[in-house]
Structure 1
């Protein structure tokens, strides 16, 4: 049960008609529909967007998790907004939220009270928008959030196994905001307030819309045309080529406008804003959040996603890793946007006032725990850069990878009397801490950071993500060679031994990723076995829209080279790869031996199974038993 601090209901944004009337409002300016329960916290997108709209002087209401199945009264309860409806599927793509990598329906939903499933539809953004357009055909609809953002152009949908057009076409929305929405939203709000209808706005950055008329050249932005949706349906190579353009332009400060024909219409995607600076980040995080779920949920059970982050602090956004399977850079951007130290410390003190806080912060982190304040030394170089990753295949010499600002924050948080322990729960990007890989470490600050991290901020175990051991697979993943994980582990163990600690590393791995063949998985099992790991749960690859790996999965070629890349697709191929993780279980040993013999790799069978004790009555010697845990998505 969630304990809610006694506060006036007016401290939350209104989610019922009664709460709107209590504020003395006859009509709302904007109504936001969300697939998540309403948690008034900066980690929840609907709360951030709602508070920004409020800060611009608008009357805003939220309809969280409306019933889309029956009489649709939830969509009608607040009436017609003066300016527009906003729609978001929530903090996750609704299909990733609903289904496993094997397309099995999940039994829970972390963004719903009690973790109960079934409170949002598949393709939630599209379903919500279509309902609104049916009830209020003349009211503009603005869509955003990760589902809309990653589906803004022609994209492959793994769950239907087909290409979809831009979500604007299927949903019927008037405008889409992609990426982190604070900057475009503020411009949009000021324009509609001045009398410009939402569906006539065309010159705001970081928006997309469908145009019925011919698209004219822009006074400021150059225009790049993608292969049309219809061409992509017929030609997978054209689809792959489109992706490279979209990824490059999404991560440039001096980007071009993108257009794509969709039937008789033209999709227009305006260039993104430059990454938010500290002042802009602080402005977003310092809004008057209650940091609590709405009191409406107090008798419905805890909201798992909230329970996970309620005592954590998000210090930055974005990731310059550019991993092929990850959507972080596709949505948040490859350039890191960091908060000021003052804003972070202010939030830590706010958390300390929470009625349930016992002195332990669960996370001081971000998408990657240790990228805080990392950026280009010369921004003019970054402005021209087209590389999708700043650290693959090598770390850019222009990237400042100093961990000193982060180490200083850890120490200042530790010094607060209200804080007993501040843990780092986010995954650590270990390659930034290996000197052989990161040549930018010139003053030893990485070693200082590791000492501070390991001795003060590890909660029993430390999460890292080597993802694979095969160099060929890691190259497709845009990840460093596994040898750097070995070097990191050596360094990690040395510091642990120095301080008498026993905090196991928890490495994450992916099976069935593009570029991974069955022998690669056998190798992975053998190498991790040699390091003392027994892998109990792993992440099976899921092709999510707007990722390199998704394009390879669908087209069979890499979008940057257009060269073929093998991908396990059938249930049998995927299961075969997964089986190798469980070499230590009796039910898999015979299968692994026979399979490796068939693959003409008896050497791997010997390496993986040769030392397995054939005599069940004789006990094996002691071994370190490290376990990996399934990552949270």
Structure 2
């Protein structure tokens, strides 16, 4: 009989368990859904015969919260949840958020700042000799020294600060099974240094096999040039077929990263999504209002993982990687048929996608044997001549889902690459998108309009976006559908000067509507853009990059994106005066704001 995994001793007793093999401590509420990393890893271990219990959002101030399931036989697994705890807690202006979508009823403050570090240290207090293995997005992107926006400094590897024994980076399915099998075979955790997709610590410089030694931590914290050099080497070693072992020295300790785990083939990915998930939050949260984060994804389908889009502000390159991995149609249809039986299902699939919805195939045939290119991107600054552009498989999949009995509509709400769609010699994808898969509004992410800023973002020319917009509206008009594109923009990205922000504001003016949501650039660990933000140069080219760090300037750049809001008037006026753009202050149709009252 399917059920949630144990969350207390009573649950263990019902299963006849005296002891768990693993206990998973997570910063999210317990949601047993394939979109939640803790659920995926736990159910996968269960498939392999291991007994796994869940401690969700323990009270980190109470050591007994970590003892609720007792001592596990093999080890503790720790993550911060589906989102970095610092991003979860703070806005780009470092203000505390008032809600947490991954907590019961959206209640905030149920996990600590730097949850992976706090949880691991508390577990070490509660069970001194039990292995602690950290993973998930928070650990994965902090595996080496990294710029920390919230303290405005460079922090050590989270493996050291957390006191954990081993770190799993990336998605982790193959790595965690190998770790479990090694521990089950009696291999001490300190000897498990041979598994791909893991990071370990050692005092023996000779232990890693033919490593590339990164600049030591003391060099990185004292030199932005060394920081950039280190990032470049890491950036070039993220592919499972080409990556080398990397090592970073901290006095007498070396933090060693083994090459990434192999990507999953279609059957392996299907197996991950075919596990016995409850596809819901635990019943203990029903009286608390449930878990808001589940609402949008409960009736969405993950079709792919990995992305070759190359956006510099995105951490996917360091976490999921650039190689697209796709599920089979059969696996996806099976999941859709399971959704239809849910009492809350109304006939609408909210999304069929992933990091990029319309990537269903690898970027090129070369990746099959040789991995991704170290010295070039697939899509920018121009598309690679070897790029395979084909939407046929995705369109076939969408058609099959639409034809499942009980399905009224299938939407696409995860990001689509409009440049990939434009590069397709066939308009079939855009035609089908407009006809079947838009819920009145299509969200897109041009991010900016300035060509120099777009180049530093790793995004295509705004001209490509404009081509897509025109096709979208032309095709919508042809079938008499009133549909709109809702663009997403980022302010204050490295390279964005005030004149670039004004250029973006003028573009928004000419669009005829103001975006409801805008995002100030958020420097999070593991991205090229964050490296540029911290160092002031492009780590791949060494070229200097202007970085808007002044708080007032960042507020002005953001205000320009919503120049019509009353509360933004003074900031917009100040920005326009600063750039001598008096032509945009007045009563003409091209003006952004009216003159100030005297």
Fold match, TM over 0.5?
Answer: yes
Question: Is 2:81 the counterpart of 1:101?
Answer: no
Question: Is 2:472 the counterpart of 1:472?
Answer: no
Matches within 5 A, 1:155-174: 155-174=146-165
Task: Report the Cα offset of residue 592 of structure 1.
Answer: 3.9
TM-score by length of 2: 0.96
Deviations 1:518-557 (A, max 9, x none): 1101000102211223233200111000111111111111
Cα distance in structure 2, aligned partners of 1:383 and 1:591: 47
Pick one of 115, 127, 133 that aligns with 2:118.
Answer: 127
Please identify, of 13-22 and 385-394, the stretch whose mean Cα deviation from structure 2 is larger: 385-394
Pick one of 219, 236, 250 that aligns with 1:248.
Answer: 236
**Residue equivalent to 2:204:** 213
Change (3 A) 1:527 1:597: same
Task: Report the Cα offset of residue 347 of structure 1.
Answer: 0.5
Change (3 A) 1:590 1:214: closer
TM-score by length of 1: 0.91
Task: Report the Cα offset of residue 380 of structure 1.
Answer: 5.4
Deviations 1:32-55 (A, max 9, x none): 100011111100111001001111
**Residue equivalent to 2:258:** 270
Pick one of 57, 72, 75 that aligns with 2:66.
Answer: 75
Cα distance in structure 1, aligned partners of 2:593 and 2:44: 63
Q: Is the 8 A contact 1:56 1:189 kept in 2?
A: no
What secondary structure does 1:534 align onto?
A: coil
**Residue equivalent to 1:118:** 109
**Residue equivalent to 1:185:** 176
Matches within 5 A, 1:288-437: 288-379=276-367, 382-383=370-371, 385-387=373-375, 389-434=377-422
Q: Is the 8 A contact 2:585 2:594 kept in 1?
A: no
Change (3 A) 1:85 1:597: closer
What secondary structure does 2:468 align onto?
A: helix
Please identify, of 478-487 and 381-390, the stretch whose mean Cα deviation from structure 2 is larger: 381-390
**Residue equivalent to 2:480:** 500
Task: Report the Cα offset of residue 599 of structure 1.
Answer: 1.8
Task: Report the Cα offset of residue 192 of structure 1.
Answer: 1.7
Question: Is 2:471 the counterpart of 1:491?
Answer: yes
Task: Report the Cα offset of residue 610 of structure 1.
Answer: 4.0
Q: Is the 8 A contact 2:584 2:590 kept in 1?
A: no
Q: How many residues align?
A: 596
Task: Report the Cα offset of residue 587 of structure 1.
Answer: 5.9
What secondary structure does 1:485 align onto?
A: helix
Structure 2 unpaired stretches of 5+: none
Cα distance in structure 2, aligned partners of 1:68 and 1:611: 53
Q: Is the 8 A contact 2:242 2:370 kept in 1?
A: no
Please report the RMSD computed on the Cα atoms of aligned residues, expressed in angstroms: 2.0
Deviations 1:224-277 (A, max 9, x none): 110011111111110111111111101352210000101210010000123211
Task: Report the Cα offset of residue 365 of structure 1.
Answer: 1.3
**Residue equivalent to 2:545:** 565
Deviations 1:84-106 (A, max 9, x none): 11101110110001100010111
Cα distance in structure 1, aligned partners of 2:428 and 2:587: 37
Please identify, of 549-558 and 142-151, the stretch whose mean Cα deviation from structure 2 is larger: 549-558
Q: Is the 8 A contact 2:203 2:253 kept in 1?
A: yes
Cα distance in structure 2, aligned partners of 1:571 and 1:449: 42
**Residue equivalent to 1:50:** 42
Cα distance in structure 1, aligned partners of 2:60 and 2:218: 31
Cα distance in structure 2, aligned partners of 1:44 and 1:613: 45
Change (3 A) 1:73 1:584: same
Cα distance in structure 2, aligned partners of 1:589 and 1:209: 52
Deviations 1:302-350 (A, max 9, x none): 2111111111101011111121111122211111111011101100101
Deviations 1:412-454 (A, max 9, x none): 11111210111111122111112xxx2xx34x1xx11111111
Deviations 1:562-617 (A, max 9, x none): 222111112111011112123334565576456434423445557986457979xx
